[in-house]
């Protein structure tokens, strides 16, 4: 037979489990809307007997983010920073979903949020708590990789890679794509902006080889995004392209000369034909004139 205190202990643990704050971590992009989750799983909820408070954990000056009391919003004590930026999902309340929608998040919204659900009978009693840690991030722009147009083998060359408007600070990798080895950057700078985002600028100095393939990679771990730009040395193909252009130019020049020669030939033939025709007309006229004269005398 189990001792009487054992059943009471189980009941106490069940109650404590219901009210201990469950912590979740979410990541939102700057400027997006974030949903802070708070779900109280209980059947036959009496919404009129519930109060829901969203607060900032460990904040004294500005604590109230959103309040819902006896079936309606009550934000008389709401922090001005969250004014007109918070709302509950009214179609989910009956299912115990008291999640909060936070609009247009910015760097100043990076906090730990606490959801407190109270049941009002004879006196208010906390029946559920949840904590949400909101982390913010922003995607970096497609990196721009600049490198030498032409170089000689063994010559030191410098590449530069830049990307901007991201958060938090990214990981920057220089990769030799010929063997997928990591290269050590010459410089790495992070430039902060007024909106809390960063731009990143990095350079790499290496000795040129006959066939170079370099990649610059910008990794945002928080968003699990990886953007890259590639450089491929195409010296031989560039030379062949130049040779092809020179050959094309020579062919075009030869074709132009041939066309002029043909045109001059045709013009010479035309002049000869016109001259011969004119000469034949003069001969015919000379032959006819004496006969006409003799006929006139008769």
For residue 212, what are its two tokens?
């170079």
Same domain, yes or no, for 106 and 161? no
Same domain, yes or no, for 75 and 150? no
Say which CATH number the domain at 24 has. Answer: 2.60.40.10
> Range of 100's domain?
19-137
Three state DSSP letters for 175-194: EECCCCEEECCCEEEEEECC
Same domain, yes or no, for 132 and 26? yes
Q: Is residue 221 part of a domain?
A: yes
What's residue 75's pLDDT? 87
Asked if 111 and 58 touch (Cβ cutoff 8 Å), the reply is no
What's residue 88's pLDDT? 97
Q: Is residue 110 part of a domain?
A: yes
- What is the arrangement of strands in the sheet containing 64-69, beginning at the earlier edge strand? 22-29, 124-137, 112-120, 50-56, 64-69, 72-73
Q: Is residue 49 part of a domain?
A: yes
What's residue 249's pLDDT? 64
Asked if 213 and 129 touch (Cβ cutoff 8 Å), the reply is no
Same domain, yes or no, for 151 and 176? yes
Q: Is residue 123 part of a domain?
A: yes
What's residue 220's pLDDT? 97
What's residue 17's pLDDT? 47
Same domain, yes or no, for 112 and 205? no
Domain C-terminal end among 235, 254, 289: 235
Q: How far apart are CA 22 and CA 117, in angstroms?
A: 13
Same domain, yes or no, for 148 and 133? no
Neighbours of 143 (CB within 10 A): 21
For 209-258, the pLDDT digits (tens) are: 888 899 999 999 999 999 999 998 755 444 444 455 556 667 677 777 87
Domain C-terminal end among 180, 204, 235: 235
What's residue 251's pLDDT? 67
In degrees, rounded to 5, the angle at the alpha carbon of residue 119 between the alpha carbons of residues 114 and 121 is 155
How many domains are contained in the chain?
A: 2
Residue listed under structure tokens 């252009």: 245
What's residue 20's pLDDT? 53
Same domain, yes or no, for 100 and 51? yes
What's residue 211's pLDDT? 85
Q: Is residue 30 part of a domain?
A: yes
Q: How far apart are CA 292 and CA 157, in angstroms?
A: 97
Q: How far apart are CA 137 and CA 27, in angstroms?
A: 7
Asked if 71 and 48 touch (Cβ cutoff 8 Å), the reply is yes
Adjacent-strand bridge partners of 157: 206
Same domain, yes or no, for 115 and 66? yes
Same domain, yes or no, for 131 and 177? no
- Which residues are CB-contacts of 130 (< 8 A; sequence separation ≥ 6)? 21, 22, 23, 24, 37, 38, 39, 114, 115
Domain C-terminal end among 82, 106, 137: 137
Segments of the chain with pLDDT less than 50: 1-19, 236-242, 285, 288-298
What's residue 288's pLDDT? 47
Same domain, yes or no, for 154 and 115? no
Q: How far apart are CA 147 and CA 231, in angstroms?
A: 7
Same domain, yes or no, for 220 and 166? yes
Same domain, yes or no, for 106 and 201? no
């Amino acid at each position: 037979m189990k001792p009487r205190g054992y059943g009471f202990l189980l009941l106490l643990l069940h109650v404590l489990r219901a009210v201990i704050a469950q912590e979740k971590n979410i990541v939102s992009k700057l400027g997006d809307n974030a949903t802070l989750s708070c779900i109280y799983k209980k059947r036959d909820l009496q919404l009129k007997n519930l109060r829901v408070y969203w607060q900032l954990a460990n904040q004294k000056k500005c604590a109230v983010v959103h309040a819902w009391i006896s079936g309606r919003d009550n934000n008389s004590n709401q922090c001005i920073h969250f004014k007109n930026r918070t709302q509950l999902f009214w179609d989910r309340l009956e299912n115990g979903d008291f999640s909060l929608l936070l609009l247009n998040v910015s760097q100043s919204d990076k906090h730990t949020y606490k959801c407190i659900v109270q049941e009002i009978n004879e006196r208010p009693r906390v029946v559920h708590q949840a904590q949400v840690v909101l982390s913010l991030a922003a995607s970096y722009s497609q990196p721009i990789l600049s490198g030498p147009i032409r170089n000689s083998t063994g010559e030191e060359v410098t590449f530069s890679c830049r990307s901007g408007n991201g958060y938090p600070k990214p990981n920057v990798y220089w990769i030799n794509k010929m063997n997928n080895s990591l290269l050590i950057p010459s410089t790495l700078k992070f430039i902060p902006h007024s909106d809390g985002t960063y731009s990143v600028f990095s350079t790499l100095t290496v000795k040129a080889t006959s066939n170079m393939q370099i990649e610059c990679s910008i990794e945002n771990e928080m968003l699990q995004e990886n953007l890259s730009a590639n450089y491929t040395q195409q010296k031989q193909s560039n030379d062949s392209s130049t040779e092809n252009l020179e050959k094309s130019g020579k062919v075009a020049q030869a074709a132009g000369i041939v066309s002029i020669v043909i045109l001059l030939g045709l013009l010479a033939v035309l002049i000869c034909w016109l001259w011969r025709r004119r000469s034949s007309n003069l001969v015919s006229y000379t032959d006819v004139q004496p006969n006409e004269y003799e006929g006139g005398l008769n």
